[in-house]
């Protein structure tokens, strides 16, 4: 199960429309096609990592060098990245756009995704990360643009959680 072809196009369009030129991340089942797409986008520097905390630090460093970074990951990665979101962004004010699969959302089929759904939103709230939950493909691109916009305005991360019709065609 991966994001739909329409959602893939919308997510890629959203990243480009937002001016994202630097992406780090760890691929997951849902957003794997987006990693594959971004890796070959000549306008985006793609940096794969082995954990999302490292990816967040790399994105933050890239922002300090003038890039517009996004971190693409499963929502379980928010837990891993939270240490560095707190240290770097709560401590110094650095914006990174977070694009996360919302495993454990209503409709989930996998038992292992349930804990990810339980933790994700309270953790984002604790980290003062504003977020949009996108369950309709037509909302995806503009939500990425808006998340990046407020991240830049508040100098702190903002997130898009992807689920619903972006993944399931039931």
Partner 1 sequence: MALDRYEWLGRLAGRIPEDALVMSTYIGAVSFEWAHHTEEHHRSAHLGQMGDVIGLALGLALALPHRRIVCLDGDGSVLMELGQLVAMGEQQPGNLVVFVVDNGVYESIGWSSQGRRPTATAGQVDLAAIAAGCGVPYTVDVTAEDELDAEIDLAFSRNVCSFVNVRTLPGHSHVRPRRTDGIEDKYRFVRYVERLEGIWITGVPPQDIALMKGKKH
Cβ burial of 5 (10 Å; 0-12, 13-18, 19+) is exposed
Residues within the interface to partner 1 (CB under 8 A): 22, 24, 45, 47-51, 53-54, 56-67, 69, 83-84, 87-88, 91-94, 152-153, 155
**Minimum separation from the CB atom of position 142 to partner 1 (A):** 16
Closer of 63 and 102 to partner 1 (Cβ): 63
Closer of 95 and 117 to partner 1 (Cβ): 95
**Minimum separation from the CB atom of position 123 to partner 1 (A):** 18
**Minimum separation from the CB atom of position 17 to partner 1 (A):** 15
Closer of 3 and 72 to partner 1 (Cβ): 72
**Minimum separation from the CB atom of position 151 to partner 1 (A):** 11
Closer of 86 and 118 to partner 1 (Cβ): 86
**Minimum separation from the CB atom of position 56 to partner 1 (A):** 8
Closer of 89 and 163 to partner 1 (Cβ): 89
Q: DSSP characters for the chain? A: ----HHHHHHHHHHHHHTT--EEEE---TTTHHHHHHHHT-TTSEEEE-SSHHHHHHHHHHHHHTT--EEEEEETHHHHHHHHHIIIIIIHH----EEEEE-TTSTT---GGGHHHHHHHHHHHHHTT-EEEEE-SHHHHHHHHHHHHHHHHHHTS-EEEEE-GGGT---
Q: What does residue 164 show for φ and ψ, rounded to 5 degrees?
A: 55, -130
């Amino acid at each position: 199960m991966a994001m739909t072809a329409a959602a893939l196009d919308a997510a890629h369009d959203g990243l480009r429309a937002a001016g994202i030129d630097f992406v780090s991340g760890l691929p997951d089942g849902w957003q794997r096609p987006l990693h594959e797409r971004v890796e070959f986008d000549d306008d985006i520097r793609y940096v794969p990592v082995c954990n999302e905390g490292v990816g967040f630090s790399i994105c933050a460093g890239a922002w300090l060098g003038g890039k517009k970074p996004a971190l693409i990951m499963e929502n379980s990665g928010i837990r891993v990245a939270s240490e560095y979101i707190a240290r770097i962004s709560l401590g110094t004010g650095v914006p990174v756009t977070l694009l996360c699969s919302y495993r454990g959302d209503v409709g989930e089929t996998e038992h292992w995704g349930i804990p990810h759904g339980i933790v994700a939103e309270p953790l984002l709230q604790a980290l003062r990360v504003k977020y949009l939950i996108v369950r309709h493909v037509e909302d995806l691109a503009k939500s990425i643009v808006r998340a990046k916009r407020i991240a830049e305005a508040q100098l702190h991360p903002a997130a898009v959680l992807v689920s619903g019709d972006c993944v399931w065609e039931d």
